[in-house]
Amino acid sequence: MDAKNQTAKSAKLAVENEQWELAVRPGTIGPSVIDISRLYGDTGMFTYDPGFTSTASCESKITYIDGDEGILLYRGYPIEQLAEHGDFLETCYLLLYGELPTAAQKADFDHRVTRHTMVHEQMLRFFQGFRRDAHPMAVLVGCVGALSAFYHDSIDISDPHQRLVASIRMIAKMPTLAAMAYKYSIGQPFIYPKNELDYAANFLRMCFAVPTEEYKVNPVVARAMDRIFILHADHEQNASTSTVRLAGSSGANPFACIAAGIACLWGPAHGGANEAALKMLSEIGTPDRIPEFVKRAKDKNDPFRLMGFGHRVYKNYDPRAKIMQKTCHEVLSELGIKDDPLLDVAMELERVALQDDYFVEKKLYPNIDFYSGITLKAMGFPTSMFTVLFALARTVGWIAQWKEMIEDPHQKIGRPRQLYTGATRRDYVAISRRK
């Protein structure tokens, strides 16, 4: 980051013969901001930044990303250390409350989440309304939005206790709903959560156990699942988090806000990229076909992009991708998957792309979605479940960011403006007189 701008106290804006002074606010780390909140009132002009490539939408203390250095911190702690030493519910506590829990706080938090993992029994009937071949993300969007129809005692966002209960319920019930969406799609009976299991092991059992026999959770796979949840937990003001914040700014209940975030995450440019990346690797099929696809990815006239590559913020390696790659190898080795053709294609594609001028100049590196699909497929999940798992993990990030926004005393409804380039005022013409 260019240091010269980090000490400025103000910025000057000159338009023709007028000049305005704008306050500059520094962050604890990372880019400062030029406060333009009074710009329209003072100048009668808007700023213009489609895609928000240069816009800070809020002040936050939760997650910090340095795209040039490939750094990701949750409440100041490097993702590498949290993934190595902690577990997902510890990360949930950290994201929600800002500090790592003591042993007593962790035990209490684990206990509270565990005791909210069941869903209202009538939710089971809600599932029956879907076709069996419905995409699990469609089912998840519907069911999470419907939670506000079942839990009336935790939708008053002005009540801190109800906000806490809704937060715990969302974190606790997402694995259960995600597993139910999977079971429903394959026509198997739902498996209830088991309180003696930890978060990731409980989820794996709800997905892969059947009533006819005991299911033994593989501890290596469960640890990998838990680490994948940690990697996906939060990521600053990405598209789905911004969606949750915007929905929450109107006062909508937390379940509806999370449903909006799930809907946004579904897109292939965002959380749908892990499903799209695996489909791309399958379409490439063998390493010898990689040059053909790399050529297409570089062709401006071809909409094809290398899924799992590139990032709005990371112009260096996504730190999560490195941990994801290591986890991928651990899971494949534990499951005795020696020569996964998709992994061969992925490793060769990464090698080729990282040497190709186009990708080097545009700073396109593998992102978290590049290796997650191979890992999840090895665990036994169908590609249609990949974004569901991303949503499961990101729920705590959405909730933490929603909570931070609701508790911000300066919070107001989000309402962007526009550059209007449509028709000027004109009078109605009767249909008989239209040409």
Q: Which residues contact residue 421 at a Cβ distance below 8 angstroms, ignoring those fewer than 6 apart?
A: none
Helix (H, G, I), strand (E, B) or coil at 23: strand
Sheet arrangement for strand 77-78: 63-66, 71-74, 77-78
Cα–Cα nearest to 383, from 185, 107, 142:
185
Residues facing 18 on adjacent strands: 15
CB 217, min distance to ligand SDX, A: 27
CB 63, min distance to ligand SDX, A: 9
Q: State the catalytic residue, choosing from 111, 311, 340, 344.
A: 311
| Rg over CA atoms, the chain | 24
Q: Token pair for residue 37?
A: 């909140």
Residue with Cβ nearer ligand SDX (116 or 305):
305
Residue with Cβ nearer ligand SDX (267 or 414):
267
Q: How open is the CA angle 360-361-367, to the nearest 5 degrees?
A: 50
Cα–Cα nearest to 245, from 35, 29, 62, 40:
62
CB 58, min distance to ligand SDX, A: 15
Q: Token pair for residue 99?
A: 């500090």
Residue with Cβ nearer ligand SDX (180 or 231):
231
CB 4, min distance to ligand SDX, A: 25
Q: Which residues contact residue 435 at a Cβ distance below 8 angstroms, ignoring those fewer than 6 apart?
A: none
Residue with Cβ nearer ligand SDX (148 or 238):
238
Q: Is 311 a catalytic residue?
A: yes
Residue with Cβ nearer ligand SDX (151 or 370):
370
Q: State the catalytic residue, choosing from 369, 408, 410, 427.
A: 369
H or E element at residue 21: strand 18-25
Q: Token pair for residue 137?
A: 């993300």
Residue with Cβ nearer ligand SDX (40 or 52):
52
Residue facing ligand SDX at closest CB distance: 310
Inter-residue contact 240 to 219 (CB < 8 Å): no
> Rule CB under 6 A: which residues touch ligand SDX?
235, 238, 269-271, 273, 297, 305-313, 362, 364, 367-369
CB 154, min distance to ligand SDX, A: 26
CB 107, min distance to ligand SDX, A: 29
Q: Is 369 a catalytic residue?
A: yes
Length of the chain: 435
**Separation between Cα atoms, residue 42 and residue 419, nearest integer Å:** 18
| Alpha-carbon separation of residue 361 from 162, 304, 307, 322, 348 (angstroms) | 49, 18, 18, 21, 19
Annotated catalytic sites, by residue?
311, 369
